[in-house]
Structure 1
Amino acid sequence: MPTVSIILATYNRAEYILESLQSIQNQTFLDWECLIIDDGGIDNTAQLLEPILKEDHRFQYLKRTEYYQKGLPGSRNYGLDLAKGDYIIFFDDDDIAHPQNLELCVKELSDKDISFCRYIRDVFWGNFDYNFDYSREYTSFFIDKRDINKILKNELQFNSCAVMWTKECYIQHRYTEHLKYAEEWEVYARIITSVNKGISINKALYFGRKHEESITGDFGNRKSASLVSYADAIELVVDNLRKRKLLSNEIIRYFIQIALDYKEYKLFPRILSCLQLSTLEKWRWEFFYFQLPLRLYFYNIYIKWKKKRK
């Protein structure tokens, strides 16, 4: 059985995928399998992969079955159901992994008290600079459920493809397949609030390619499917935190402020419904929500005034 299962979902990325797979072959840690899950692409990816599949049997190419919904979450769930490794990591089909990615993460996860290893993900445009830093010296810190507010508010970023997980993390957790954006954010919140702790290492071990075709680009361009998905993900996160008794007033206020921009999707009443409040508590948060625009207006005036005084 392989030590690490790499799950790489792909969809019409013939232009980039071979470079991504080469970065996997260049890993200093050799005991891995890579499950390439095709989400129904119509380009020549399958033909391009034929030589590498014959040459290196650690790669497997599979087409997502109809049992899983179309999209990244469904493809990754298919990969999870097939994975044989002790550790799970997700890569994208257009990015570059540092050669030491698997090696350093496996080393950190050899401590049985550690459930996941987070690392730095940098980004690049155009051609990639292969001048890697091979140093094995770096600082680190622990992460646990007490950090969940910072993670949800993106103060402690959990970027796509920047975490290796023990297989135990995904025994009871899968991606929510109808989500088309924030699906990682939502499942990570469930996992982090259900395990002991993880470690974060301050070294860039993954490099994400930036281009306009990405899902993140869709959200940045305010496409409807991504906005709907984000609202759905917030509702799921609030419900999970409530069940685990980790829902603080700080994070409720944060999500209610976001709800101001999601009136079309009825996010505020959905959050209230998840909270399962008494009538008095419900009135309290309704008052907070309805007077929040005025508070933000005066707060922005105050910030501008402070800047002028400097």
Structure 2
Amino acid sequence: MSSIPKVSIIMATYNRAHFIVETLQSIQNQTFEDWECLIIDDGGNDNTKEKIIPILQNDHRFRFVKRSDNYKKGLPGCRNYGLDLAKGDCVIFFDDDDIVHPQNLEISFFELTKGDVSFCRYIREVFRGDFNYNFDYSKDYDSFYIDKNDVEKILKNELPINSCAVLWKKECFKNNRFEEHLMYAEEWELYSRIISLGFVGISIEKCLFFGRKHLKSNTGEFYSNNPIRRESKKNAILLIIQNLERQKLLSDSLLRYFIQTSLSFKEYQLFDKIINNLEISKTSKIKWRLFYFVLPFRLILYRVYKKKSRN
């Protein structure tokens, strides 16, 4: 590895001694070797460091550091700290409980060298339990470009951009960082914001990352109705709408999507917060309030229609 690595891997960790060794070994198995891996400890109290000491001692591309108190506790703060420590011109965020395809960095870095693009997005699959190491090593895949015209598809999850499924040129983060008060959906907010600013990337139709599904993950906690994760999703939605308005990208279709989503966040009065913060006319606000009022009935009718059509 050169004194200045081409890629900086940023990994936040918190009490993952039972998973992290397998994750780090999958990073060691990369066919692309010019990287550093910054493991940012978020104040865990298990034996994570003791578990990985053999790896730290034998492979100096890994570096284990405690999160600085200048950054808020949590995943976003750890990642922002990692961005400030990173030496590489490209950065990627890996979680501490997943498995990385051996060709991940080789293929995604190669894509960044081919044209004037700022990020490479690839496919991420999920697994439960033990991982099957039967990798597909093919280099034949389709690709397409992503730009700000795709923000709507990204936000609606029609074009998912997961936290660990993108290699970025570090320039994307020069004026863009994770919102440290967010404890869920922080990458959804940041990545859509970056792309809305005009950064163009390439998406390749090849799976290069495997996310482990378990209840203790942030996503698992969100779908278990953890109030911290739910409130963070609400806050992320409000930040996204503010940014879309600034960039003149808030379409009626997107607004309709977020208003429909707000039905699931009634305890936070999300709909009222969305409408009250919009820079629209009183007439438009009345229109959207009417839409919100009749929306539950429309959804009931839609479900009845779908059920009948299946029969």
TM-score, L = length of structure 1: 0.97
Q: Which residue in 1 is equivalent to 2:199?
A: 196
Residue number in structure 2 paired with 1:85: 88
Aligned residues: 308
Question: Match for 2:170: what amino acid?
Answer: K
Q: Structure 1 unaligned runs (5+)?
A: none
| CA contact 1:169–1:195 (8 Å) conserved in 2 | no
Partner of 1:104: 107
Deviation track 1:52-94 (CA, whole Å, cap 9, x = no partner) reads: 2121111110000111111111111110111111111000111
Q: Determine the C-alpha separation between the residues in 2 that align with 1:9 and 1:196.
A: 25
For 1:177, the equivalent position in structure 2 comes to: 180
Matched, 1:3 2:26: no
Q: Distance in 1 between matches of 2:51 and 2:199?
A: 42
Aligned: 1:73 with 2:64: no
Instruction: Tell me which of 26, 29, 36 is aligned to 1:26.
Output: 29
Q: Is the 8 A contact 1:113 1:196 kept in 2?
A: no
Q: 2 CA distance for matches of 1:17 and 1:305?
A: 48
- Distance in 2 separating the partners of 1:28 and 1:100: 6
The letter for the 2-side match of 1:228 is E
How far, CA to CA, are the matches of 2:239 and 2:54 in structure 1? 42
- Match of 1:283, SS state, is helix
1:248-294 CA deviation, whole Å, 9 max, x = no partner? Answer: 00000000011112111011111113321111111111111112122
Moved more, 237-246 or 219-228: 219-228
In the aligned structure 2, how far is the partner of 1:16 from the partner of 1:300? 41
Separation in 2 of the partners of 1:126 and 1:295? 40
- Runs of 5+ unmatched residues, structure 2: none
Displacement, 1:51? 1.9
1:262-281 equivalences under 5 Å are 262-281=265-284
Q: Residue 132 of structure 2: which of 122, 126, 129 is its match?
A: 129
d(CA) in 1 for partners of 2:31 and 2:119? 20
Q: Does 2:25 correspond to 1:13?
A: no
Q: Per-residue deviation at 1:5?
A: 0.4
Deviation (angstroms), 1:196: 3.4
The one-letter code of the counterpart of 1:199 is I
Q: Secondary structure at the match of 1:119?
A: strand
- Superposition deviation, residue 144 in structure 1: 1.0
From 239, 243, 249, the counterpart of 1:240: 243
The alignment's C-alpha RMSD in Å is 1.1
How many angstroms apart in 2 are the aligned matches of 1:274 and 1:164? Answer: 34
Kept in 1: contact 2:172–2:199 (CA 8 A): no
Partner in structure 1 of residue 118 of structure 2: 115
How do 1:283-298 residues align onto structure 2 when only pairs under 5 Å count? 283-298=286-301
SS of the equivalent of 1:61 reads: strand
Q: Which residue is equivalent to 1:212?
A: 215
Alpha-carbon distance between aligned partners in 2 of 1:275 and 1:19, rounded to the nearest angstrom: 46
Cα deviation for residue 112 of structure 1 reads 4.5
Aligned partner of 1:51 in structure 2 is 54
Q: Secondary structure at the match of 1:93?
A: coil
SS of the residue corresponding to residue 199 of structure 1 reads strand
Match of 1:303 among 288, 300, 306: 306
Per the TM alignment, residue 301 of structure 1 is displaced from its structure 2 partner at its CA by 2.1
Q: Which amino acid aligns with 1:195?
A: G
Tell me the SS of whatever aligns to 2:118.
strand
Supply the distance in 2 between the matched residues of 1:202 and 1:84 (Cα, whole angstroms): 29
Preserved contact between residue 88 and residue 167 of structure 1 (Cα < 8 Å)? yes
| Whole-angstrom distance in 1 between the partners of 2:21 and 2:159 | 31
Q: Tell me the CA shift for residue 307 of structure 1.
A: 2.1
Q: Output the amino acid matched with 1:96.
A: I
So what's the TM-score if we normalise by structure 2? 0.96
